[in-house]
Each structure stands twice: as C-alpha cells, then as structure tokens.
Amino acid sequence: MIVLALAAAAYVVGMFPSAAMVARSRGVDITAQGSGNPGASNVSRVLGWKFGVLVFALDAAKGAIAAGAAWAVDGRATAYICVAAAALGHMFPVMHRFGSKRFVGGKGVATVGGAMFVLEPVVSSGLLVVWFAVSRLTKKASLASIVIVALLPLGAALMGTPGWEIGAMVALGVLVMMKHASNIKRLIRREELSLGKNH
C-alpha cells in the first residue's frame, strides 16, 4: 500500500509544469515555440540559457524528490518505482491544460537525471559532463540526452551497481528513448533543431 501511495505522489510531483510556467512568466506559450516541447532545451532555445537552466533544475528536482523521499521511506526498489512514476507524470500528465493551451509532457531526461543524482551520484556527475560536452560540440541537446541515457547503465555496471538496478535504469532509458523517437528521426534526416537558435 505504501508503494502505491508513494508512486501516486511521485506522479503528481512529476506533473508540475516547470517549463510551461517559466515560459508563461515571460509571456510565451512554450508548446507553440521552437520544437514545441515543454522542456529545458526548448526553453533555452526560445528564452535563453538562464531560463533553460532554471527549467532543468526544476524538472531535475521532481525526480530527486521522488527518489529521495521513496528511498528514505521504503528503500531503493521503491525509489526506482517512484522515479518511473515521476517520469510518467512529467511525460504523460493527466493534467492536460495549463492556461489556455493544451499542456503536453516533456521528454523526461532532467527528471530521470535528477533522480539518478540521488541514486547514482558519481556516475551521474560524469554523465552531466558528457552531456555538456556532446551538446556543445554538436549543438544538439537531444543527441547529448540519447548518449547519456545509453551510457547510464554501463557506467553503473562499472561501479558495481546490482543487476536489478541496472535493469531498472535500462527500463527508464527505454521510456526516455521512446519519447525521443521523433528526435531520433530528425537526427537521422539532419533536421533536428539546434541549441541557441530560435525557430
């Protein structure tokens, strides 16, 4: 019962519309600008990197809160369940409206990343550096995200993380990759939007 209660709470936390709220504070409907995705990368593209960092921090906090609270109350297994719930809340929110526009979910990278900073801080710190390096070199936030999602379970395995946790990371990675399907197609066609440009 406690697992269900924690997972439900994590889902609600995951629904918090960070990008939409930050963008709306500047008079912008983020779902109608740039790529249309309510996430840190698109906010950075449309409003500048400072606002993008703010959204990233807020989205990461959702995952960190979900993971940390569940771990403290009921252990690491429940923490991973709650990370998945928070990610689903962020990606597929039941709350469909924000302001006057339909609110769609984000890609989940920051939310899962924030959780991993709680559960795997050493690996996550290294992957954050990798993300910045890849995004700076390629100007493609989606490519950087895909790279770190793929590297997370590998890094955890090298650190001696138990197999079941690695399996949970793979499952979370698959979920994030599914939300990046359109990005992957655009990357293949060389049509993906770049960071630091308004479109």
96-122: pLDDT as tens digits: 554 334 556 788 999 999 999 999 999
The span from the CA of 106 to the CA of 76, in Å, is: 25
Report which of residues 126 and 194 the model is more confident about.
126
Give the CA distances from residue 27 to residues 47, 100, 102, in Å, rounded to whole numbers and listed in that order: 10, 12, 16
Residue range of the domain that includes 72: 2-188
Report which of residues 36 and 24 the model is more confident about.
24
Q: Is residue 194 part of a domain?
A: no
pLDDT at 12 (0 to 100): 95
Total domains in the chain come to: 1
Q: Is residue 149 part of a domain?
A: yes
The span from the CA of 24 to the CA of 98, in Å, is: 10
pLDDT at 199 over 70: no
pLDDT at 196 (0 to 100): 60
pLDDT at 19 over 50: yes
Burial state string for 106-119 with b = 16 or more CB within 10 A and e = fewer than 16 = bbbbbbbbbbbbbb
Are the C-beta atoms of residues 124 and 113 closer than 8 Å to each other? yes
Give the CA distances from residue 183 to residues 35, 68, 165, 188, in Å, rounded to whole numbers and listed in that order: 10, 30, 27, 9
CA 56 to chain centre: 8
Q: Is residue 193 part of a domain?
A: no
Q: Is residue 90 part of a domain?
A: yes
Nearest to 105 by CA among 29, 16, 196: 16
Token pair recorded at residue 3: 């697992």
pLDDT at 2 over 70: yes
pLDDT at 96 (0 to 100): 57
pLDDT at 198 (0 to 100): 46
Token pair recorded at residue 113: 């990343």
Which pTM was predicted? 0.88
pLDDT in tens, 28-74: 988 888 878 888 888 988 998 899 999 999 999 999 999 999 999 99
pLDDT in tens, 121-175: 999 999 999 999 998 899 888 899 999 999 999 999 999 999 999 999 999 999 9
Q: Is residue 196 part of a domain?
A: no
Q: Is residue 63 part of a domain?
A: yes
Sign of the torsion angle spanned by Cα atoms 15, 177, 61, 104:
negative
Nearest to 83 by CA among 120, 36, 38, 56: 120
pLDDT at 197 over 80: no
Burial state string for 169-199 with b = 16 or more CB within 10 A and e = fewer than 16 = beebbebbbebbeebeebbeeeebbebeeee
Q: Is residue 15 part of a domain?
A: yes
User: What value does the mean pLDDT take over residues 8-29?
Assistant: 93
